[in-house]
């Protein structure tokens, strides 16, 4: 007799059933496409992570962190999962947890848009509003414990790094045979350090550039400018542990990130969010200063889609020409 496979969204009866569900979910996360374009004397390749189920690369780390908690025995059927996030990770954790019949509790900044809060709720998440997700993490940990939840803590969780080392980077190297530069914004540090580690093992000479808002703590500043999706006021533990893998830190202003969105759309047709715009702006700076040889292949990640940021409509208009200065550096 064939055994019935449990439907998503129902409480599993055992740890084994939870892990079986996770194996099924793994089949629809990742394996994202890469699209490459010739920009002057350089090749730009973009990994389209927004085709993941909730629309971002954070589905990968949510799966890994939840699976790690289950395998370690701290999380079981019907358990509660907590995370601090006002963006993509919140949506990913909500969806993964709901799929497994778990209770997702998300600590979300009160200033987060109602669009984001609605998405989190739609995907099954309960919201606890906080003032600043980068601060007061001890309070969050205590509150999560009071609620009986396992706090994943993406900023320090090593599974964040491993998810990209074991999946994103492996896919990328199968899709792009030679990577001369990998340019990535730092939100939690998981993507850039995971991919950098794999690149170091397979292609030791690749340039790895971390992108951060101008004046951020990561760049040694006070945390002045902000770009949605990138850390400004803290340096994540995941990044600190693996910072030796990073060759360069490139600071980008919020206005340059918006120009990067338009430049990417103009050159490739790809509509990506602010962190990707910042990566394109940073890559353009590296090209302009001669840090990359002509003929180099530069890789960036489209972490999410521009469609997730309707609030940018008052600041951004495709076709305004603000991205032209960035694109000119690739052809000069």
Rounded-to-integer distance, Cα 261 and Cα 219, Å: 22
What pLDDT is attached to residue 117? 87
Q: pTM of the entire structure?
A: 0.94
Residue-wise pLDDT tens digits, 42-98 = 999 999 999 999 999 999 999 999 999 999 999 999 999 999 987 899 999 999 999
Q: Which residues are catalytic?
A: 58, 275
Q: Which residues of the chain have pLDDT under 70?
A: 1-6, 132-135
| Domains delineated in the chain | 30-52+170-331 (3.40.50.1100), 58-151 (3.40.50.1100)
Q: What is the pLDDT of residue 2?
A: 52
Task: Give pLDDT tens digits for 162-188.
Answer: 999 999 999 999 999 899 999 999 999
CB of 55 closer than 8 Å to CB of 82: no
Give the pLDDT score at 6.
Answer: 56
Give me the half-sphere count of Cα atoms (radius 13 Å) on the Cβ side of residue 106: 31
pLDDT of the residue at 8: 86
Contact 80, 150 (CB under 8 A): yes
Q: What is the pLDDT at residue 131?
A: 75
Q: Which helix (H) or strand (E) holds 327?
A: helix 324-331
The residue behind tokens 């690149």 is 199
What is residue 132's predicted lDDT score, i.e. its pLDDT?
63
Pairing state between β 42-48 and 34-39: antiparallel
């Amino acid at each position: 007799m064939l055994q019935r496979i449990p439907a998503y969204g129902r409480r599993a009866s055992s740890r084994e059933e939870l892990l079986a569900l996770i194996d099924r979910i793994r089949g629809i996360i990742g394996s994202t496409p890469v699209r490459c374009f010739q920009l002057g004397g350089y090749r730009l390749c973009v990994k389209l992570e927004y085709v993941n189920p909730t629309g971002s690369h954070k589905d990968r780390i949510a799966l890994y962190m939840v699976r790690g908690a289950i395998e370690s025995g701290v999380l079981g059927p019907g358990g509660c999962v907590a995370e601090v996030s006002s963006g993509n990770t919140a949506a990913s954790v909500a969806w993964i947890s709901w799929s497994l019949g778990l209770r997702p509790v998300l600590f979300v900044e009160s200033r987060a848009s109602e669009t984001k809060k609605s998405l989190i709720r739609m995907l099954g998440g309960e919201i606890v509003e906080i003032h600043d997700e980068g601060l007061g993490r001890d309070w969050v940990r205590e509150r999560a414990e009071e609620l009986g939840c396992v706090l994943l803590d993406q900023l320090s969780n090593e599974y964040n790094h491993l998810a990209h080392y074991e999946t994103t980077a492996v896919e990328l190297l199968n899709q792009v045979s030679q990577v001369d530069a990998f340019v990535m914004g730092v939100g939690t540090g998981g993507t850039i350090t995971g991919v950098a580690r794999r690149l170091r093992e397979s292609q030791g000479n690749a340039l790895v550039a971390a992108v951060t808002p101008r004046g951020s703590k990561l760049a040694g500043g006070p945390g002045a400018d902000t770009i949605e999706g990138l850390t400004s006021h803290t340096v994540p533990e995941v990044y600190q542990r693996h910072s030796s893998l990073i060759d360069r830190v490139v600071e980008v202003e919020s206005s340059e990130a918006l120009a990067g969105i338009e430049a990417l759309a103009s050159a490739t047709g790809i509509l990506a969010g602010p962190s990707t715009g910042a990566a394109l702006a940073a890559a353009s700076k590296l090209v302009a200063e001669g840090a990359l040889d002509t003929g180099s292949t530069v890789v960036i990640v489209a972490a999410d889609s521009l469609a997730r940021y309707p609030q940018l409509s008052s600041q951004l208009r495709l076709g305004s020409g603000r991205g032209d200065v960035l694109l000119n550096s690739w052809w000069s």
